[in-house]
Structure 1
Amino acid sequence: FIDALKTRKKGGGPPEQALKFFEQLYRIESQAKNEKPEVGETQADCIRRFRQQHSVPILIALKAWLDDIAPKVLPDSKIGDAVSYTLNQWEYLTRYTEDGRMSIDNNLLERDIRIFATGRKSWLFSDTVDGARASAVVYSIMLTCRACGVEPLAYLRHVLSELPQRATDTDITDLLPFNFTKAAAA
């Protein structure tokens, strides 16, 4: 819709209307994060309830608007592409309203994937398959640390001091990044 808006000489029109729907949805997301859970309710349940009350009606209005405008736009135009894409991806676009743990978008994931896209060029020059595999493992561990809110250097210090003290065939799942916060808290 942003690309479609850029193609309009005076702005406005259907692309701007679509972006207003999305602005409303992101405003609701911002409010949902500040919402306080009711007694006995988890934060994820609270966010889901808030989305059901506020986001779902906007999504219903957006869907009706898209269904109405779809036959009126040229299929090969930027706005036609945006409308068609949104309708084709509707199930995925609205899925976040069913689970308060899900994000409205995948921006965080795309930012994390960008590291791999950049690293891919470096991996071309790995001398061996084992060297490339080792680089991929390190990337994976660092991104898992980030996703778990674990400081990577503290995690590596802990793991590299623990591993030498363990037998070769010992289970090391307790050393995984998502278990590190539990161990650090204990």
Structure 2
Amino acid sequence: MLDAIEKLMVEQRPGVVPQSLLGKALTYLHGQWPKLIRYVENGNWPISNNPCENSIRPFVVARKNFLFADTVAGAHASANLYSLVESAKANGIDPYRYLTWLFQRLPLATTVDDYDALLPWKLPANLR
């Protein structure tokens, strides 16, 4: 079926006005063709990326809110805190528990290894 669609696309595209609706559709199809083929060749990939889109939606909303911060430093602080909360949620951790645990240990961190140990996925299992 895909071979037939590709054949029609290749045959018809040169004779269609690029700015027409059909021309725009064929141009779009041509540009997306490698991705479509890649998807069809790997049956393990989900047909929808809605879970990914839904997971980044809070970041997009927050990014718009950061535009109205009083200062650049305030926007950076908000973004950093938001990133910590969303990282905790992405790892199945209650953000409040993680932030409580983090803020108790963060002042004691001095080395890269100390900071690495504070990542959300390193939260002890008994605190999750």
Tell me the TM-score normalised to structure 2 length: 0.66
**Matched position secondary structure for 1:89:** helix
Match of 1:119 in 2: 62
- Whether the aligned pair in 2 keeps the contact of 1:66 and 1:83 (CA below 8 Å) is no
Against the structure 1 CA distance between its residues 173 and 97, is the aligned structure 2 distance closer, same or farther, given a 3 Å change threshold?
Answer: farther
Matched, 1:157 2:100: yes
Deviation at 1:123, TM superposition (A): 1.5
Match of 2:91 in 1: 148
Measured in 1, the distance between the counterparts of 2:40 and 2:53 equals 17
Gaps of 5+ in 1: 1-60
- CA deviation string 1:118-170 (max 9, x = no partner): 22332122122211111111222223223323332232232223335x2x414
- Whether the aligned pair in 2 keeps the contact of 1:155 and 1:177 (CA below 8 Å) is yes
Measured in 1, the distance between the counterparts of 2:41 and 2:92 equals 24
- CA deviation string 1:30-81 (max 9, x = no partner): xxxxxxxxxxxxxxxxxxxxxxxxxxxxxxx33x133123133644344543
The residue identity in structure 1 corresponding to 2:12 is: K
Off by >6 Å, runs of 4+ in structure 1: none
Against the structure 1 CA distance between its residues 184 and 117, is the aligned structure 2 distance closer, same or farther, given a 3 Å change threshold?
Answer: same
Matched, 1:184 2:125: yes
Structure with larger RCO (C-alpha < 8 A, sep 6+) = 1
Measured in 2, the distance between the counterparts of 1:148 and 1:97 equals 30
Gaps of 5+ in 2: none
Match of 1:107 in 2: 50
Match of 1:65 in 2: 4
Tell me the TM-score normalised to structure 1 length: 0.49
**Matched position secondary structure for 2:117:** helix
Measured in 1, the distance between the counterparts of 2:50 and 2:100 equals 30
- Tell me how large the CA RMSD over aligned residues is: 3.2
Measured in 2, the distance between the counterparts of 1:135 and 1:154 equals 19
Measured in 1, the distance between the counterparts of 2:78 and 2:40 equals 33
Against the structure 1 CA distance between its residues 143 and 88, is the aligned structure 2 distance closer, same or farther, given a 3 Å change threshold?
Answer: same
